[in-house]
Each structure stands twice: as structure tokens, then as C-alpha cells.
Structure 1
């Protein structure tokens, strides 16, 4: 992988702008096909980018609607060069709405509703480019104000899947440890014990109701085993 210093990044971005400006000089017969090329690039970025590109893609769509092809190409090239010369967030995992739905235990339709409602902080859903990729550092903000990162939800889901599909039967001590860890997850999520948080609320959101049921079940299981959280 090539590494870039600040000066080299600036040069690369300048070249991206210069290349897009050359589009203005393309003869009209050939320029009629340029929007197809721009749309193909946009689709490629949407499908493969490790960053959330929805903002750029919406701007590209707007430029194409205004028949400003060179500006649309410029935005795509600058975005590609900026990502290509950046060292941060290169290893950030990106998830589809289907994957995030599994992590949170809801339907894809619910995730789409949350996106449209702005429940995932910093994530916007475009009308044209519908295949949203949600980064692991995105944070879901519930109506109650409780916030959960996608990474935390993914970790909890994977932990539960590992528990369910464990090949070797767990010992009683291992089962108790798993239960306690699950309770600790909820205590950290809601900043308190079950009795001091969800158990005191008269009305729960669907998410809280699901968590409350799971949390209470964990506590009962620990009590039956004679352990303490």
C-alpha cells in the first residue's frame, strides 16, 4: 500500500480536479456518454467504499440532474483520492442494513426507518443510492436517549451466537460466567442495574422491552444457579 505525506495528498487532489476540468473540452458527441461513466463510478464507490459515501453520492446525483457532469466527476475523483491517501479508518468494518438488523434483533424495515428518522448519528440515507453501508462506529440513539454503537451490538450478537453454537458443552462455571457477562453488558448499556433502570419505567420502547425481557431472564437464570451479578 502506498503511503502519502501531506504535500503528496494535496498534489493528488489537485490532479483529480484538473482531470475533471478536462471533461469540459470533450466534444459534444462524446460528452453525451459521460454521465453513464460517472454513474458507473458512483455505483462502484457505493458498493466498495469502506467509508460512508451517501453524502457524496447525493451530491453527484444532484449534479447529474443539473447536467453538470464535470462537477459530478470532480466530486467522485476528489472523494476517491481523499480516501485513497488517508490512513485513518482504513480498517473500519462496514455493515449492510441486513447485518445491522440481525445485531439489533429487528427487521431490515426497522433499520431503514431508523435511518430515515436519523436514529443512526451521522448517517444519512440517499433516495437514489439505497444500499447504505453502516460503519461499526455509528451510534444508534433510541427515543429514550440510550445510545448503542453498531460495534457493541455486533459484539453482543456474535457473543450470543458463539454461546448458542458452542460445540463443547459448557461447564456450570462457564455458563454462569456467560450469563454474568451478558448482564454486565446491559448494565453498561443502561448505566445501572435492572432494578434501577428498566424495571422502574412504566412505559418501555420496543427495544427496551426486548432488552428488559432478556435482562430479566438472565437474572433469573443466575439466581437459579445460585450466582450473583
Structure 2
């Protein structure tokens, strides 16, 4: 991880501006292709940014509408350099897949599958035999479309542990009992099993979608534990 003081950050921003100016000297036929690069970069920023990029993306769209792709490129390069040199990003806490699995109540294999499926925005599959590290501000997208950060899942897990007055990790039997109790809670709330209620609802409300995500995760965790016994 590279560290930046104020001077280095200013140098990096200056170079970003210089690069965008140099692109203006490309042959016209190449400049005609530049908007496609701009759109690809805009998609990347939207998918992976842990900050709110709406203002940036609106500026980029306006520049493309006004046929000023060089200005759009400059805005994106400066944004990327600014984010990349900010201390709040560099100091983001990183979690192992085991920790993330505990927060979400699933197995490590499930978390690895989520990474491979791209469900954690901006988290790329690691090299073989190397453990993936997941930042606390990574956004997880569930199959139902509900999004939450790893930090939110970690906080919810910590609150639950505090509520249960737990200072030691739960045993396998205790964890299974907690999972079953949580499933029973949802079955009482919706008057039936997941498969007969939220699992088949075409247009759930945001609250129902969030419950569906948690309910589905609980059932998956119970299934994994059953397969491992």
C-alpha cells in the first residue's frame, strides 16, 4: 500500500490533469473512440466506488453530452487519484473470509463463492492458495438486490453478541440453536416457511427483501452445518 503526503498527492493530481490534456493531441479517429473508454471507466467507478460517485457521474454524462470527453476523462482521473491518496480509504479495516463468514452467518466456502460471483463490489478473486481480504466498506449485493456493507454486518454481529452477553465464541450446538430460533422467528412473522412466503414473492418491499436475505442466509447456514456433521 502506497502512502501519500500532501506534496505527493498534489503531484499525482497534476499528472492526472496533464494526462487528460495530452489525450487531446490524439488523432481525430482515436478521439472518436474516447467516449467508449470514458463510459467503461464510469461503469467501473459506479460498481466499485465506496464513496458516493453520483455527482462525478453526472458531470461525466454532461461532458459526454456536450461532446467534451477530455473534460470527462480529467474529472474521472482526478477523482480516482483523490480517492486513492485519501487517508480514510488507505486506513480501511480488512477482514478475512472467515471473519466475514461469521458476520453474515454463512460458511467460508459461501463467502468465497460470493467473491467469485462478484457479490462484493470491488473485491476481486485472489490468487490460488491466497486468502482474500475484504475491506469493511465493501458492498455486498444479495440475490434479492438488497445491499449492505461488511461494516454493517460486523456491527450487527457485535450487537447480537453483546445482547447475548457472549465473551467466548459459541459452540457448534449453540450456533445451530441460534440459527434455528432465528428461522422460527421469520416463520412466525410471515406465517409459513421461506419457500411458501418470501421465497416466492415477486415484488417484496425493502423490509421484506432484507428479511428474505437474512432468512435465506440462515437456511443456507443450517444446511451447511448439516452437511458437515
Give the structure-1-normalised TM-score: 0.46
Greater Rg by CA: 1
TM-score, structure 2 length as denominator? Answer: 0.46
